[in-house]
Amino acid sequence: MNTRQGALRLTLNYLLVAGLWIVFSDKLVAALELTARQTEQVQVWKGLVFVLLTGALLYLTINRHLRNQATIGMALRASEERLSLALSATEDGLWDWDLRNRSVYYSPGYHALLGMHEGELSTDREQWQELLHPDDRAPYQRALNDLLQAEEDTSSEHSFRLRHRDGSYRWVLSRGRLQLDSLGRPARFIGTVKDVTQSRADADSLRQAAAVFESTQEGVLVTDAQQTIVHINPAFSRITGYSEAEILGKHPTLLKSGRHDETFYQHLWHTLQTQGSWSGEVWNRRKDGEIYPQWQCIRAIQDANGLLSHYVAVFSDITVLKHSQHELDHLVHHDPLSGLPNRLLFSERVEHALQRAQRDARRGAVLVIDLDHFKHINESLGHNVGDMLLKAAGERLAEQIGTGATLARLGGDEFAVLSEDCGLAEQAGQLAQTLIDCLDEPFMLDGQELFISASAGVCLYPGDAQTVDQVLRNVDSALFKAKSSGRGGFAFYDQEQTEYARQRVELIAGMRHAIENGELRVHYQPLHCLVGSRMIGVEALVRWQHPQRGLVPPGEFIPVAEDSGMISAIDAWVLEHACRQMVTWRAAGHSLEFVAVNVSSRLFSRGELDQRVSQVLQATGLPAACLELEVTESAVMDDPDQAQALLERLRALGVRLAIDDFGTGYSSLARLKRLPVHKLKLDQSFVAGLPHDKDDLAITRAVIALAHSMDLKVLAEGVERAEQLEHLRRLGCDYVQGYFIGRPVSHEELKLS
């Protein structure tokens, strides 16, 4: 019975009782036949009695109603409290949408879920819709519209994102129920929301983990606490050959190879039990019986109570890696061309030999064998033939030393031998000569018969050296000594050679700062024309004014500069300074026709000399015809085609060109006649014997005749005596230079008048 029906029933009962009271009380008074005054008094008392009775009845009714309301209120509050506690325990929020009044109630838990204070959410839906993620608004509205079309009470469940107070979006799961009124119209939509951000992230992580588990190339094996296999991944089957049906329910010992003893497994389980994980290399057996190496990681998994629940083993097949490691180790320690030990392995063996020598008072020798002029093989026949020669030479050397020594290829054309049985210098010398002699025999390579010689350096240990670095340094010094003595032989290390090497290193270090520190000087040597006996030009020669040693002889530092590659920078420096000095002389009115500058083979071989010369001429303002470049015959013949192209580019600039040291190389006359040069410089080695040496005389006469036949001028170097000058004049030589004409001096000392 609802409230309206109860009120109506109570009113009807009251009217009935009141009506009956009036009717029967009036009849009773009339029956008593009282006087008017008595009747009036009875009517008053009757009214009072009626009021008392109805008041008592009203009191009882209201009291009963209030007791019922109190009982209902207590039950309602208890229910609300239970609901609140339940929502709090589940961290859910409650919402109640009155569709007729268009107002929404949000519980404190709903506010807390979004980081808001209670009452901060408005009772209308506009504020809530602003919190909804933009991408979720349209799908949510479509679902809501479909729900509102329902013809009966309907439940719904949706996931969407709401904006938290901190600006982030939280995923929530909303469960609600639509209630209809008596006319079947939507009246109320009530439900709960739950923050599922973490659970969705966990679910995503699980899906990703499952995908990784299934797709990873590593095998995965899962067992229960009793070590019964409960799960594997596809990679496990691919690596081991066992299918899921064949392995589930089995024990991992089925995979044992038998290569590990009980101690290995005891250590494995001890580590697993004490540390919770173990990793290492283990050999297992495939289904087909093949034993193979694995890198395996095993981890103990515990449940929520901290009790062991599973073991997980992740492993990879490292067969290819082991094979690659073996190959890599061989490559690291061996020369790929000859297959011999390389410098690294040889150094390790020398170190061990030195340790044994100190421990057992033994003596031995280290030899380095270098093939003489090997680069000529590469340049003339190609690197393929050179490689074949190196390999054949290594095989021949290996036959001579046998198995009691170590043969290595240090790099390039250098081989090294470690012999721990050569305690005496005589024995080491005999071994060195044997190795040199074996290489004298011809090599038949690719249908060609090749001859090559070798030089060797010898270092005895521990007498001459106690460390690996000392051994290798000393044996290199001995090799250098052997090569300096004419090649084709051997030499022992001595202290004098070490001192020479030390001075050489110091010289190179000093030269690196010579240009920067302004220590280089340019001296000029006069060039005279024999017709008219006048000076027509000068040759620029570099000198080094060392701050401690004074003037360093050019014969000492020029070869070092060429070997170290610094000669190119020196040549460029001399070129610029000589051109600037020539401009100064011309401005002063001196009649010099040109300045000659030497070009080293290194600078010439770069192929950019014409660009450098053009830049210097432009920067200094010197006319090109006032510059003469002297290029050695050997530099031109190293690559004749490239040299000719470069010389033609230089000739196009307008500079003079001269071939220096002519007669000392191997010039091709067919190429010489095509070179765009102006002059040949006869090497001083042929001038020195004039006029008495018949061979020098014949060569000088032939060179002068050859040059004149090709319209070239000839300049003779190294003229130191009057008789040489006079004889050159009679032979028709055009120009001369030398100490008899004038020594190289600074520009201040040069006499130009």
Together in a domain, 473 and 538:
no
Boundary residue ending a domain (50, 80, 110) = 80
Identify the pLDDT of residue 737: 92
Give how far Cα 125 sits from Cα of 29, 129, 173, 530, Å.
Answer: 69, 6, 18, 115
Specify the CATH number for the domain of residue 569: 3.20.20.450
Query: Of 201, 228, 256, which residue sits at a domain end?
Result: 201
- Answer whether residue 186 is part of any domain: yes
158 and 135 in one domain?
yes
Helix, strand or coil for residue 606?
coil
Q: Distance between CA 526 and CA 47 in Å, rounded? A: 163
- Strands, E assignment, 412-533: 414-419, 443-445, 448-450, 454-461, 490-492, 520-529
What pLDDT, on the 0 to 100 scale, is given for residue 127? 82
Q: Give the end of a domain, one of 137, 169, 201.
A: 201
My answer on whether 593 and 724 are in the same domain is: yes
**Has residue 190 been placed in a domain?**
yes
517 and 660 assigned to the same domain:
yes
* CATH (domain of 290): 3.30.450.20
Asked if residues 622 and 582 have their Cβ atoms less than 8 Å apart, the reply is: yes
pLDDT for the residue 210: 67
Residue 363 lies in a domain: yes
**How many domains is the chain partitioned into structurally?**
5
Asked, for residue 206, whether it belongs to a domain, the answer is: no
Taking the alpha carbons of 214, 216, 219, 222 in that order, is the dihedral positive or negative? negative
Residue 682 sits in the same domain as residue 631: yes
> DSSP alpha helices (H): ranges in 456-566?
468-484, 495-512, 554-564
Structural domain boundaries, residue 421:
341-493
* pTM of this structure: 0.46
Same domain, 439 and 460: yes
Give the sign of the dihedral formed by CA 356, CA 358, CA 359, CA 362: positive
In a domain, residue 642? The reply is yes
Q: Which residues pair with 542 in a beta bridge?
A: 522
* pLDDT confidence of residue 415: 94
Rounded to 5 degrees, what are φ and ψ at 731?
-75, -10
In a domain, 331, yes or no: no
Concatenated DSSP letters of 290-357:
-EEEEEEEEEEEE-TTS-EEEEEEEEEE-HHHHHHHHHHHHHHHB-TTT-SB-HHHHHHHHHHHHHHH
The answer to whether residues 191 and 279 belong to one domain is no
Q: Within this chain, do residues 178 and 294 fall inside the same structural domain, yes or no?
A: no
Residues 359 and 450 in one domain: yes
Residues 540 and 672 in one domain: yes
pLDDT of residue 505: 64
Query: Which pLDDT does position 213 carry in this prediction?
Result: 66
Per the structure block, which two tokens stand in for 624?
A: 């090109």
Q: Within a domain: residue 66?
A: yes
Q: What pLDDT is attached to residue 669? A: 65
Shared domain for 512 and 480, answered yes or no, is: no
Q: What is the pLDDT of residues 319-365, one digit of tens each?
A: 777 776 777 777 778 888 888 898 888 999 989 988 888 888 788 89
Residues 712 and 630 in one domain: yes
Rg over CA atoms, the chain: 56
Q: What CATH number did the domain enclosing 438 receive?
A: 3.30.70.270
Share of the chain above pLDDT 90, in %: 11
**Does residue 744 fall inside a structural domain?**
no
So what's the pLDDT on residue 339? 87
Residues of the chain with pLDDT under 50: none
Residue type, 305: N
The tens digit of pLDDT for each residue in 552-589 reads 888 778 877 877 778 888 888 898 999 999 999 989 88
